Amino acid sequence: MNKKLGQFMTPSGIAGLVARELGYCDTVIDFAVGEGALLNAVQHMQGNGTGVIGFDVDQKMINRAQMVLRNAQLIYGNGLTSHIKGEPRGKIGIVGNPPFVSAAPVESSWVTKAFPGLTGKLGTHRAEVQFLARALVTARPVGGRVVFVMPIGFADGDIYSRIRALLTSQYRLLKCIEVPAGIFADTEARTVVLVIDTAGEGGIETEVCEVQAYSAQPLRVVSKVIKPGERLDARYHKAMQSSTSNGPLLRDLGVTIDRGIYSRKEAEDMHITAIHTSDLNRATNHKLVGSPGKNETLGHAVTAKKGDILLPRTGSRVRWEPVIVQSGEMPITDHVFRIRAPKKVREIVCQSFYHPLFRAWLEGASKGVCATVLTKRELLQMPAFAFSYSAEELLSTTS
């Protein structure tokens, strides 16, 4: 298998799931057909009467697909630039498990066609996004359905948030089904299966589901109207549900969050003693005291002062516990968040990181395979778990 061409074939359980979600179609297209696993599952479910069209840049893949598919039009060529021969017949469906690789910028025009109004280039250089865009552009004129396997990053990554926002507002995203790690034999990656109806406007409820490893059946986690750019992965929505509190979010309490700008190495080179996650791990009683006069040149370093709460942003062996700055002023590295809360809510914010629901929330909100990574955007949306009605009364009497 050629990994540069993203040749990771779809396991049969997931191919079956894609075919079931597609429903009946007269013609089904796969712009990166590989060995034909998806189209084979479609024919298996719908019978050989369904016409299938497949493209692949690798002749070996075309030959293999030829052996398992019947009534197939297989085209050796680039699925992003080759034309479909003739007019596809009847009701059209498009399936895909495209290559998850970087692509030539010239091919990103599908993305602008599929998502009118998209600003910026973030995420558009990825082949899988361009294949999804081509599928949407092809299916939309006939109101066809698109069922696509995408990497988890598309569902949880910040760089795709604008594309997600347009996907949910301009198309009917019926389902986002998370496929946990370990189901794709060749890779440990988590993926999602998007089920999109191109007929009609967006703004509908999306079912966020998770595939059960033993049965390849999707179980529903939640059905809701996804907020613009909101994450689509089941892990996130499960954690959000388990940590739902009626209290306010950190951003509602006037909290601001910043991260350091220098890495530990950069700070060392500039002779700045910056607080790193290892210093947070070592802090006695979760408190830090700045040493006056130690950092004469702070450069543009982000510094923490008395009352600030420090929390790791990322790391594999970090202690996910808050540390309070007791005195002095200390720069922080880019692995540390400085959480600045108005005095009257500081205790509530700090206690929220000790609350049992924080762990459940962190599990869903964080990203990363080797190390947990938390973003400022997610953290601002964390519920203040320690907020209680007595705290609410206290705030209203003191404000």
- Applying CB under 6 A, the residues found at the interface with ligand SAM are 5-10, 15, 30, 32-35, 37-38, 55-58, 61, 78-80, 97, 99
CA distance 378 to 329: 26
C-alpha distances in angstroms, 387 versus 244, 247, 253, 392?
A: 12, 6, 10, 7
C-alpha distances in angstroms, 74 versus 27, 42, 45, 64?
A: 13, 15, 20, 11
Shortest CB 152 distance to ligand SAM, Å: 15
Shortest CB 192 distance to ligand SAM, Å: 14
Contact by Cβ (8 Å): 349, 339 = yes
CB nearer ligand SAM, residue 15 or residue 283 = 15
Shortest CB 320 distance to ligand SAM, Å: 35
CB nearer ligand SAM, residue 37 or residue 275 = 37
Shortest CB 272 distance to ligand SAM, Å: 46
CB nearer ligand SAM, residue 84 or residue 380 = 84
In Å, the largest CA–CA distance within the chain is: 80
CA distance 350 to 293: 28
Q: What is the full DSSP assignment across 161-196?
A: HHHHHHHHHHSEEEEEEEE-TTSSTT----EEEEEE
CB nearer ligand SAM, residue 7 or residue 273 = 7
How, if at all, do strands 205-211 and 218-225 pair? antiparallel
Shortest CB 5 distance to ligand SAM, Å: 4
Shortest CB 162 distance to ligand SAM, Å: 24
CA distance 135 to 114: 9
Residues 6+ apart with CB under 8 A from 375: 158, 367
- In one-letter notation, the amino acid at residue 224 is K
CB nearer ligand SAM, residue 38 or residue 310 = 38
Shortest CB 180 distance to ligand SAM, Å: 18
Shortest CB 27 distance to ligand SAM, Å: 16
CB nearer ligand SAM, residue 37 or residue 365 = 37
CA distance 321 to 286: 8
Of the chain, the end-to-end C-alpha distance in Å amounts to: 65
CB nearer ligand SAM, residue 80 or residue 167 = 80
Distance of CA 261 to the CA centre of its chain: 24
Shortest CB 71 distance to ligand SAM, Å: 17
C-alpha distances in angstroms, 202 versus 157, 199, 261?
A: 21, 9, 39
CB nearer ligand SAM, residue 30 or residue 334 = 30
CB nearer ligand SAM, residue 95 or residue 350 = 95
Which residue, judged by CB position, is nearest to ligand SAM in the bound state? 34
Contact by Cβ (8 Å): 98, 126 = no
